[in-house]
Every structure is written in structure tokens, then in C-alpha cells.
Amino acid sequence: MDKVTLLLSLAFALFTIGLLGVIVRRNVLVMLMCMELMLNGVNLSLVTFAHQMGSTVGAVLVFLVFVVATAEIAIAIPIVLLLVRNKRTLDLAAYTELKG
Amino acid sequence: MKLLALIPLLPLAGFLLNGLLGRRLGNGFVSAVGCGLPVLAFLATVKCAFDLAAGGYTPLSETAYTWAVVGESRFEVSFWFDRLTAAMALIVTGVGSLIHVYSTGYMKEDPGYARFFAYLNLFLFFMLLLVLGRSMLILFVGWEGVGLASYLLIGFWFDDPEKAAAGKKAFVTNRVGDAGFLLGMFVLYATFGTLEMDRINAAFGAATLPAVSASLVGILLFVGATGKSAQIPLHVWLPDAMAGPTPVSALIHAATMVTAGVYLVARMSGIYLVAPEASNVVAVIGVLTAFFAATIAVVQTDIKRVLAYSTVSQLGLMFVALGVGAYGVAIFHVYTHAFFKACLFLGAGAVIHSLGGEQDIRKMGGLAKRIPITFWTFAIATAAIAGIPPLAGFFSKDEILWFAYASGAGGSTWLWALAALTALLTAFYMFRLLWLTFLGASRMDPQVEHHVHESPPAMTGVLAVLAVLSAVGGFFALPHFLEPQLALPTVQPERASMQTPLVALAIAIGFAGLALAAWFYARGGERAARLAPSLAPIQRVLAGKYYIDELYAAVIGRPLGWVSEHVFLRLGDRVLLDGTLNGLAALASRTAGLFGRVQTGSLHLYAFLVLLGSLVCLAWVWRHV
Amino acid sequence: MAWLLANLDTLLLVLFAVCALIGAGLMLVLQQPMRVALALISTMVFLGGIYGLLGVHFIAAFQVLIYVGAVMVFMVYAIMLLDPRDPGVMRRYSGLLVPGVVVAALFLAALGYVAWQDAPVPPNAGGPTGFGLQQFAVAFLNEYWLHFELTSVLLVAAVVAAIAVIRVNRGERG
């Protein structure tokens, strides 16, 4: 098995586990962290391909993914904070306003 | 100058002017236009008749315009003027104009005065299209148009639901007949590729007969005539049509529209000459209708109803003449009948007008001295219809009876016998009517009696003219005039000798009817009243018109109503149509509801669906890459 | 021993990969959010190690600095603020556990199939790559300067959004 296959499999596995985590875990914060895991998996696959092709663009993209992930989490956590303050629970089953 | 096209256009202009402007411009304008234009049409017809005679009686023909060109067939609006057309057009415009003048007096106080004259002119327009049309298509336009005008005029006082229903009945019954007419036209068109009547007649008269059965076409066209001319079984509308104003009854349901069926058969004589079965059907139905209607007329108590059944009966006699090949004689009877029947109806109108609306003859009597002009004109017309010589009705009716007996194309003894019996009944009930209405002691309501007065000159003048025509009209030998076009049938040789005895018998019948009526109904009908109880059952059947209306209602009306209600309304409309629409809507709604269940508000579910969707997409891409 | 030294990169790579995977798996299983955070941190660190083994050292540095140092620390703050410590209150799994696992397994199988196919791109010989820091910096500030500026804009937007959240926060409390 060569490096690329291994790393790619790892990336896909991380992504899948992250998505599974979003589906099965109830705690809002844990769901957020699983989303981070998904991002990491994708980032790994991006690095693998970029490294394989030896392109500069790949590096730039990886960096941009870092920035975006940071900005995203910077906003996501305060939003979750506000939500939790409203509902007084971290259980996602309580957040059903999107019903209908 | 396109004179032929002008003849129907003049009344049409009258319709438009009176219809659109009549109310605003007042009764004077309406009368002037409404009577003036038909008179002009009459004069134009006279001019055309002279032109015809001057040209050696070759038919005049004029094409107004081309209606449609469909593939290779042309449909043109064209007019035709030959001897038969001249006779019919003169009757229609002449008697029509007289009745228009009468209406200025009769309808004077009616708020719908302008509308009345507009409709009358419209009727005249369509009737002229009917008689002047060269092609059956134009005739049919006129045919339907007079049906429409009849509907509008019968239901003229539409606020009364009964009168409106009578108009509807007339129209619907006509339509039943029209179905047969249309089928006949289709067969003719399919066979000949043209609907021009002169060409079709020529084709049937040619040495080699066309491929289509003449009898079939003859019967189909006769079905149409049955509807329009109120023969059995489509006669039921004519008595109810008396709900319309009396001038309408005179014009449409006595003189002109109902004779359209007779005109049709006479015009298409080429077909009937080679269709003995169809002619037999015509004659049989004619004589049965004549007899049947005469029996009902004997017991009627409404002055207009007696005259209505009398019209049905006389039309039957005309069809007898047509059925035995005496086409010219039938038209002769149309001509004389127009005079005396119009005079009778208008006289009845004058009586009704004098009595302030009373129509029941049991409440009349003793009017002869108080409204003499009306009385004498009515008496002359009654004698004419009874066949008293030398008035007009005697000549035409006698010819019919003669040919019914002796015609080589279907004359027989029983046909003559029934017709003669009908003539006897006719004389009887008409003189009964005269006696009960005008003679004897007065049976009127005192208030009514107080106001009895002679009608205005517009009305009595017309009555006088028509009475004179009823008296002397018979001396113009119309069958002889029409003979070059409509040949008289050959007489059976062994019967030729019976001509004089039969004439004598006809005269005797007329006087016998007069005598019987006088004996029973003089002095207020006391002898008749004494006889009444023993004949009560017969009287009931006759008064019930043989219960034909009830039969139709039960056999046709109710099943149709049931089908309409249960099949069309409940099943077809509600279940199928509404059900389909509502069902579709419900389906959409339920599907939406079903899909809506996806939106539970649970993010877990949404994420799961994302995963699932991605998997499906991935699998799909693989299958197609 | 010689074999070990010869294949050290590959062995370390496999080791780091396995550990990252274990960390990810633990995330699904652990009850308390703080422990889940720690599992994630470990995964991220091992990922950083993998980046280092690949030769992209500055990306590895970024991984640890930014992801672990900023993002996860913020996450830990949030957990400390919100999480009510006692594990008996909330159930761990949602109603979609079984279907989720099943479909995720299928998905992973599908993706694995993709991963295990032969790569059409020739593997890297290990020569000069675009991942050198100097080359990266030069590219970022020359060719991709627009993207650089745009990231600044994005961060400004994030700051503004954070302030807005504070205002909402303040507004709610009165």
C-alpha cells in the first residue's frame, strides 16, 4: 500500500466518522467538534493531493482552509452559547424550531 | 339591382333599427319602421314576380356572397325565385305586412312595443331567407331562425313562467325534428356534393336514379317538417304556443312558419315523386294528425286553442295533399289557409281585446251586435274554413279531398273518408266557436260586458281585408299557376267519374257541420249541455288531448330527467369531474403532507439524509461512469 | 533493526494514522465533552505529525498552532462555560444510531473503494515541492495576494460578527 492510498483512506475515514458523529451524538458541543473532525479529514486529503502533485496552489488552499475553519468556529461557538442560554440545555433534541 | 337579396334585408334592417333604437325613439318610429319595411318588402316581391313573368317564368337566381369555401366545395348565400317562391314570398310578405299593421293596434299599450316589432321583423327576415334560399343550407338557416323568433315571441311576456315554458317547449320540440332534417341534409350532401335544391330535384328527376334511397331522404326531411309543422308526434308545442300575443299566433303559427314544413316537401318534390313509401308516410301521418286534432278541437273552451288545433288539423290536410303527389294543391291550401286562419286569429285577438283579456268562450256570447265588424269578418272566415262555397277554403279543401280519393300516386278511399270526416268535424267545431263566442245570450261577466267596444281601425281594417281575401282568394287558380313546376298527379281512371259527386258531398259536409253546430249550440248551448253527461268519458279524453303530453312526460321526460340527475349530475359531474379535480387536489395535498413529514426539525435526521444522499449520488455516479 | 530504520517513515506514518483513527473513534464513544475535546486534540496532533512526515513542516506548524492552539482552546473554554459536568443528565446517542452506523459503514466502504483504486497521477519523487516555506510565502504574496487580502476580510467579518453576538448577548440580558 502506498502512502497516498493510506492517507486518502485515513482522510475518508476521518470524514465519515465526523459525519457519523454529527448524526449520532446529542450534545451540541460534541457535534461541533465532530464537524471540526470532518474539516480535518478534508484538509488531510487536500494536503495529500497537493503534495502528490507538487503544486503551490494546494498549499495556499490548505492555508485558506485553516483560516476559514478558524473564522467559522469563532462564530459558531458564540451562536451555540446563545442558543443554549435560550433553551437551557445542550441536548439537540430540544432544538426543533425547524419543524414543518 | 340585387332585388332578391333586398327582400329579406328590409325586415332585417327593421329588426336592427327597432331593436337598437326603438325604445328611445318612441312608438311612432317603431310603427313606421316596423310596418313600413315589410310593406316595402312586399312591393319588392311583387316587382320580382313581375320580372319573373316578364322573363317567361325562368327562375331568377342571385348570389349574395360566398359564405365559405371548404376544400373544393363552395357554400354560397344565393337566392332563387321561381313560381313556388313567388307564391310563398307573396303570402309571407303580404299577410305579414297586414299583421304588422294589426299589431300597431293590438300591442299599443304594451311596454315591450319596440321589442315586439323588432322580433316580428326578425321573424320575417328569417322566413324570407327560408323561402328564397336556393340551397338547403340557407333554408336551414331560415328554418332555425324562425324557430328562434318563434321562441322569442311565444315567450314574449317572459315574466310569466308558464309562457316562458311554452316558448321553450316549442323550441325543443322543433329541435327534435331538426335532427331528422340535418340527417337528411347530410345524406344529400354526401351523395350530391351540393345542397342546392334545384340541382338535387333535377338529379332525382333524371333518367338514372341516384345511388341514395329517395325514401330514406324523404322520410328524414319529413321528420324535420313534422317538427316545424306540428304533425304527430311533434305537434305538442303548437297549442301551448298560444301563450304568445295573438298577432304572433296569427303570423307564425297559422300563416307562415308552420307552413314551412309544407313548403319544404313541396320544394323537394323531386325526391317525393320517386319515393312512394315516403309519400305514403307523409299522407298517413297527415290524415291522422288532421283527424286527431279535429277531435280535440271539438271540446276546447279557449278561443285560441280551438284555432290552434284547427291549424294542426289543416296542416294535416296539406300533408295529405303532399302525400298523394298534389304539391300545387297543398300550396293552394297554404295560401287560402293563410287568409282565413289569420283572419280568424286576428278576429279572436279583437274579441280578446274587446273583452279586456277574456279568452274562455264559456264566458262570451251575444257579441254579434256589439262588435259587428269583428263578428262579420270572423263569420266569413269561419265559413271559408268550413268549406262553404264560393269562399276560398271550399276550393282548396275540395281539391285536397278529390286528390286524396283519386290520385294515381296514393289516393284511396279510406284516406278520403278520414279527410272528409275531418272536414265535417272542422265545420262543426268552427261554427260551434262562432255561436258560443258571438251569438246567443250573453254569458259575460258584468264588468267585462260593460267595457265591450269595437277594436281600433288598425285592427278592424286588417280584419276586413283578410275577410275579403278569404272570400275571393279561391278564384285565383294557384295549382294551375304552379303546374308547370309542380305537376298535378294523374287521376286513377276508374275514379275520374266520381269528381262531381264528391264535390257535392263536400258542400253537403260543410252545411251539415253548420247545421249540427247551430242545432247544438244555439241559445247558449243548452242542447249540448244536456248531451254532455252521457259523453263525459269521451269529453275527458279529448279535453286531455289524448294525454299525449303526459305520455311524453312519463316516457321521455322523466327518464331523461332521471338520467340527467343521476348519471350526468351525480355520477358525471359530481363524482367524475368534481371528483377528479378534488381528487387531484387531495392527492397533491396528501403527497405534500407526506413529504412534509421529513421536516421534523431534528438536525440529526437532516444530517443523516445528507449522508444518505451522498451515498446514493456516489453509487449513481459509479453506475454511469 | 536495519529494516526498521530503513522503513521508519512508513512505520511512523502508519502509527500516526492508526492513532489519529483511534482518537476519532473515541470521539464517538466518550460521554463527557471535555474528554471528547481531548480526543480531538490528540487526533489533530497526530495529523500534524503526519504533515511533518510528509515534509510540509509549516503546515504541520499551522495545524498545531491554529487548530489546536486557537480552535480547540476556544472549544475547551466553551465546554467549561456550558457543560453541566454530571453525565447522568443527557443521553449519549440520538435516535438515529443504528441507521446512521449502517449507512456510514456503506459510505466508508464506497469511499474506500475509491481510495484503493490505482492513482492515475504519478507519485511524487520527493524533489522540490511547492510546500517549501519560502516558495509558499513568495506565492502567497505575489500570485495569490488577492486571496490573502480576502482572508483578512473574512477575519474582519468574523470579528464584526463576534461583536454583534456580544451586543445580542447584552441586549438579552437587559
Q: What is the ipTM of this complex?
A: 0.92
What are the tens digits of pLDDT across the range B199-220? 888 888 877 777 778 888 999 9
B608 inside 8 A of chain A by CB: yes
Which chain C residues have a beta carbon less than 8 Å from that of A45? none
Give the three-class secondary structure for B249.
Answer: helix
Q: Which three cell numbers stand for residue B325?
A: 303527389
Report CB contact under 8 Å: B612, C103: yes
Confidence band, pLDDT 50/70/90 cuts, at residue B64: confident
The more confidently predicted of residues B450 and A39 is A39
Q: Among C94, C95, C110, select the one facing B618 at the smallest CB separation.
A: C110
Q: What confidence score (pLDDT) does residue B1 get?
A: 53
Confidence band, pLDDT 50/70/90 cuts, at residue C131: low
Q: Which three cell numbers stand for residue B385?
A: 274554413
- Closest to A54 measured CA to CA, from C131, B481, B247, C92: C131
Which chain C residues have a beta carbon less than 8 Å from that of A58? 130-131
Give the three-class secondary structure for B224.
Answer: helix
Cα–Cα distance for residue pair B437/B614, rounded to 1 Å? 101
Q: What confidence score (pLDDT) does residue C52 get?
A: 92
Within 10 Å of residue B505's Cβ, how many Cβ atoms? Answer: 17
- Separation in Å, CA B104 to CA B304, B447, B467: 20, 26, 19
Average pLDDT over residues C65-88: 87
Q: What confidence score (pLDDT) does residue C88 get?
A: 63
Q: What confidence score (pLDDT) does residue B221 get?
A: 93
Half-sphere exposure of B29 (CA within 13 A, CB side): 16
- Closest to B242 measured CA to CA, from B338, B339, B334, B170: B170
Distance from B564 to chain A by nearest Cα, in Å? 46
What are the tens digits of pLDDT across the range B119-153? 999 999 999 999 999 999 999 999 999 999 999 99
Q: Which 538-597 residues of chain B touch chain A by CB within 8 A?
A: 596
Cα–Cα distance for residue pair B221/B570, rounded to 1 Å? 37
Report CB contact under 8 Å: A92, B604: yes
Within 10 Å of residue B314's Cβ, how many Cβ atoms? Answer: 29
Q: What confidence score (pLDDT) does residue B89 get?
A: 92
Report CB contact under 8 Å: A66, C66: yes
Percent of chain B at pLDDT > 70 equals 99
C105 inside 8 A of chain B by CB: no
Strand partners, B81: B60
Which chain C residues have a beta carbon less than 8 Å from that of B612? 103
Average pLDDT over residues A13-24: 95
Task: Evaluate if pTM is beyond 0.80.
Answer: no
Within 10 Å of residue B581's Cβ, how many Cβ atoms? Answer: 10
CB B409 within 8 A of CB B276: yes
Average pLDDT over residues B334-353: 92
Report CB contact under 8 Å: B608, A96: no
Taking CB atoms and an 8 Å cut-off, how many pairs form between chains B and C? 24
B241 sits in which H/E element: none
Which chain C residues have a beta carbon less than 8 Å from that of B618? 107, 110-111
Average pLDDT over residues B173-195: 90
The residue of C92, C102, C107, C108 whose CB has the most chain B CBs within 10 angstroms, and thus the best one to mutate to test that interface, is C107
CB B356 within 8 A of CB B452: no
Distance from A93 to chain B by nearest Cα, in Å? 7
Report CB contact under 8 Å: A92, B610: no
Q: What confidence score (pLDDT) does residue B54 get?
A: 87
Q: Is the model's pLDDT at C45 over the cut of 60?
A: yes
Confidence band, pLDDT 50/70/90 cuts, at residue C87: low
CB B109 within 8 A of CB B353: no
What are the tens digits of pLDDT across the range A26-81? 999 999 999 999 999 999 999 998 888 877 888 889 999 999 999 999 999 998 98
Taking CB atoms and an 8 Å cut-off, how many pairs form between chains A and C? 225
- Separation in Å, CA B255 to CA B90, B173, B387, B572: 12, 19, 18, 45
Least confident of B103-112, B460-469, C101-110, C125-134: C125-134
- Separation in Å, CA B557 to CA B173, B345, B416, C155: 12, 31, 36, 87
The CATH number given to whatever domain includes residue A60 is: 1.10.287.3510
Report CB contact under 8 Å: B610, A96: no
Task: Please name the chains neighbouring C, where neighbouring means 3+ C-beta pairs under 8 angstroms.
Answer: A, B
What are the tens digits of pLDDT across the range B504-530? 888 898 899 888 888 888 766 677 777
What are the tens digits of pLDDT across the range B452-505? 888 888 888 999 999 999 888 888 888 888 888 888 888 888 878 888 888 888
- Closest to B400 measured CA to CA, from B458, B500, B296, B316: B316
Report chain B's mean pLDDT, rounded to a whole number: 88
- Separation in Å, CA A92 to CA A29, A97, B559, C82, C100: 10, 11, 69, 14, 16
Ramachandran angles phi, psi of B64, nearest 5°:
-80, -55
Q: What confidence score (pLDDT) does residue C50 get?
A: 95
Cα–Cα distance for residue pair B16/B26, rounded to 1 Å? 15
Which chain C residues have a beta carbon less than 8 Å from that of A10? 17, 20-21, 50
- Domain containing A91 equals 3-99
Alpha-helical regions (H) of C7-132:
8-29, 33-54, 57-62, 73-82, 97-115
Report CB contact under 8 Å: C168, A82: yes
Average pLDDT over residues C71-86: 88
Cα–Cα distance for residue pair B398/B387, rounded to 1 Å? 8
Which chain B residues have a beta carbon less than 8 Å from that of A20? 611
Q: Is the model's pLDDT at B71 over the cut of 90?
A: no
Give the three-class secondary structure for B268.
Answer: coil
Q: Is the model's pLDDT at B436 over the cut of 60?
A: yes
Query: Least CA distance to B609: which residue of chain A?
Result: A23
Q: Which three cell numbers stand for residue B479?
A: 295549382
The CATH number assigned to the domain with range C1-86 reads 1.20.120.1200
Cα–Cα distance for residue pair C137/C129, rounded to 1 Å? 13
Largest Cα–Cα distance of chain C, in whole Å? 70
Q: Among B608, B614, B619, select the one facing C96 at the smallest CB separation.
A: B608
Query: Least CA distance to C93: which residue of chain B?
Result: B604
